[in-house]
Structure 1
């Protein structure tokens, strides 16, 4: 299963509706730890089974409006058909939950993922006052863009349109160190659109907007929306990540209708002092190619992946390293320079750090560079991300020798390549 230990995210506020305490899945009891989200047709819970496994359960309301379990069958069918791509949420299984009230509900057992792009944007919004750039770092925008384009490219090969791509449906996986697409409740086979209303307001492509309003007016529709609607949504998501602002009102404005390219130029112009110009223009042009009004002229996922934007290396912001869990921890403010140059002391420090870090899980490797980059920082690679999350939670704010420890995560790929970021804004 995805995680190898229980997670403890902040508990959501208590809700009046009754939430289940247990699920019985394939003869095993899973305990509900938190409600992660609630929509019109389903609720999502974090569940754990003993020490070894955590997962998510998506429980569908008994749904007579669509003739039975329409939402469940729809999402199950799509997910079963598209399993096996690293940027798509993993479906472990399906089951029926028989509650004491006598109502049987259909459920999906899914991999548990971490923070969503929606939450990342909220957190960035609250902490960007000390940075010149308002939005998320180019490193994060690039990472998310590449992962989502890979997912969309795969969906298109499989003949599917996601039809509800938005920040809340893009989640980080600490285990796989990438973003994944979730929530396939509105998805359909290209050329066979069985969903009347698609996409969420603010991320809806012009052709979907038109089709939705005609459907509302009861007009019989010929033709279908294509995979191009997903590229439009992703273009808006990337523009929001770059700018750090919600664009729902912007895309409704007359200015946007008249000349969306000028609005995009303005957004990029306002953010320019902090960033190198060339990669910023690559990103701007990539987003423009996704936000072509005419779906025939909009770029495809495969073509977008060839953008020069993806060949530029970037570094993350430090707060993103706090928010994006990874099996690797980076501990700051621990080691005195004097410890680094005395070989005996250095070995003692290594042993002490390993012993301390082993308290939270199995340590694969531990590195304390003696020179820059990374001089005196402690890098600890855990066997799995649930252990590093527990360690990060427990070590942050601790004092060693009168110093406050700062514990952030660190990208696994950079650590494995020996690439230690020198400075992080």
Structure 2
């Protein structure tokens, strides 16, 4: 049994008799060799049901304290210097930005004392459902890319793309108003909440205050803005750009632009954004994707989405605008209706209770993003 001391900054610890039931994510199996098997959190015993993700600095588990109460525990390992920097970094950011409906909820923090005497720092978090990475896998029945000349693929519905775009722009607008840059926006870090029926942003391990960047290497390959690419390359060489005070919040807009383009097209763009053609004229490639996509949509909404994405993908960060200005796009004034496939992919509490959802169609998201994970690239289900 794990013995824990605890602290609860939010005062919203889920209990077995809680009326706000957190919906469980996709089914998983518990590795028999996995430790810990129990957490004692705020005086209650929580059983580890599954390990949802594992990175260099932390592991994430789905835990349950009874028949109705489930949550996620993110357990941090000590860093190379034996400290808790990663834990303190993410905790401080999360505590500072709590309260927005499109940002994962932090229920509390605690220290886990294992039976072998090792103490680890933990976050107790809201348990979320399917990630955008998994949704993208569901659209990829055939493998193709703009570089390989593969067959065009059908992406997600305009309703789903609009829903995700609005939710994450709302999260970014709030985050940026608070002075933070997320710095690792990617499909794996955008998850659907079946309970709240909206998308939420997770994983703030690389986040920093704008103008006070304390993380050298930011963003994930394929979703990395040009200025972050340059900064990372200089940092790797032990150099620093003259007068550089770090990347701005516009790096998050770039990442979201790529995510939305992938959702619309159904094409993984990692190789495309690395290509010389993209660097020379990314706008022409975006135009080509929209012109060749097989999705049949009304012309005007498609043009609005195309222009919104292009506005996020300017090489010059000064021309990308802000999350708040992006929310004023005419794309968001158009009402779309969800398809039946959308309702299945994005489950609601009613569908879960009626057992209408079969998660077997959602393949391992590693099929989409590959094996690479950032040191804090942990997801929740």
Structure 2 counterpart of 1:94, from 109, 119, 122: 109
Q: CA RMSD in A?
A: 2.0
Contact conserved, 2:180 with 2:208, CA < 8 A, in 1? yes
1:110-121 equivalences under 5 Å are: 110-121=125-136
C-alpha displacement of 1:6: 6.8
Counterpart in 2 of 1:355? Answer: none
Give distance in 2, aligned partners of 1:117 and 1:123: 10
Give distance in 2, aligned partners of 1:288 and 1:12: 41
What are the superposed Cα offsets for residues 50-97 of structure 1, whole Å, 9 maximum, x if unpaired? Answer: 12311000011122x155011100000000000000000000000011
- The question of 1:166 aligning with 2:186 is answered yes
Contact conserved, 1:164 with 1:200, CA < 8 A, in 2? yes
Give distance in 2, aligned partners of 1:144 and 1:183: 17
Q: Secondary structure at the match of 1:175?
A: coil
Q: Secondary structure at the match of 1:392?
A: coil
Structure 2 counterpart of 1:154, from 159, 174, 179: 174
C-alpha displacement of 1:152: 0.5
Counterpart in 2 of 1:404? Answer: none
- The question of 1:11 aligning with 2:31 is answered no
Structure 2 counterpart of 1:175, from 188, 192, 195: 195
Cα distance change, pair 295–123 in 1 and its aligned pair in 2 (3 A): same
* Consecutive aligned runs of 4 or more in structure 1 exceeding 3 Å deviation: 5-8, 12-15
1:52-131 equivalences under 5 Å are: 52-63=68-79, 65-126=80-141
TM-score by length of 2: 0.83
Structure 1 counterpart of 2:318, from 289, 296, 306: 296
Structure 2 counterpart of 1:321, from 343, 350, 355: 343
Counterpart in 1 of 2:64? Answer: 48
C-alpha displacement of 1:317: 2.8
Cα distance change, pair 103–252 in 1 and its aligned pair in 2 (3 A): same
Q: Secondary structure at the match of 1:285?
A: helix
C-alpha displacement of 1:391: 2.0
What are the superposed Cα offsets for residues 290-319 of structure 1, whole Å, 9 maximum, x if unpaired? Answer: 000000111210110000000111122322
- The question of 1:392 aligning with 2:366 is answered no
What are the superposed Cα offsets for residues 203-254 of structure 1, whole Å, 9 maximum, x if unpaired? Answer: 0000000000000110134221000000000000000000111100000011
User: What is the number of residues matched between the two proteins?
Assistant: 331
Cα distance change, pair 297–96 in 1 and its aligned pair in 2 (3 A): same
Counterpart in 1 of 2:159? Answer: 139
Q: List alignment gaps of at least 5 residues for structure 1.
A: 330-388, 397-425
Contact conserved, 1:137 with 1:316, CA < 8 A, in 2? yes
Q: Secondary structure at the match of 1:126?
A: coil
Give distance in 1, aligned partners of 2:210 and 2:328: 24
Counterpart in 2 of 1:229? Answer: 251
Instruction: Give the number of the structure whose alpha-carbon radius of gyration is greater.
Output: 1
Higher relative contact order (CA 8 A, sep 6+): 2
Give distance in 1, aligned partners of 2:295 and 2:192: 29
